Amino acid sequence: MSKKRYGRYERPRRRKTSSDKPVSDIVKELKKESIPTIDYRERSLKIHGFICAKCGREFETKDRHLLTVHHKDGNRFHNPLDGSNWENLCVYCHEDEHSRGLLGDYLNDKKE
């Protein structure tokens, strides 16, 4: 009898891992080991206020979900505690900020 082969190699088999811990405990351990995240959105709102840095629209507490944090250098992992890389933008200005580069690239490709 020959084994059924898939291509040049045998079909990979799943290895059973024996663990006495339930999955929920493993997940808790992994979360503890991960780098703690700083809620930079709340910090930015506290530093810069509920005002869009681009259009100047002022927001109230009930409308705060319309304000987003824009990273000036484009790196969402660069979060200095002094807020120097952040600016609060309303969702409309934030979308405009990120679509400008795409539109510019599109228009430059059309001209060439």
Instruction: Judge whether 18 lies within some domain.
Output: no
Averaged over 76-83, what is the pLDDT? 86
pTM value surpassing 0.75: no
Average pLDDT, the chain: 81
Domain with residue 70: its CATH number is 3.40.1800
The number of domains in the chain is 1
Comparison of pLDDT for 40 and 110, the residue scoring more? 40
Q: Which residue has the higher pLDDT, 47 or 106?
A: 47
pLDDT band at 10 (very low <50, low <70, confident <90, very high): low
Q: What is the pLDDT, as a whole number, of residue 77?
A: 84
Instruction: Identify whether 67 is part of a domain.
Output: yes
What would the DSSP string read from start to end of 3-46?
A: ---BTTBPPP-PPPPP-SS-HHHHHHHHHHHSPPPP-HHHHHHH
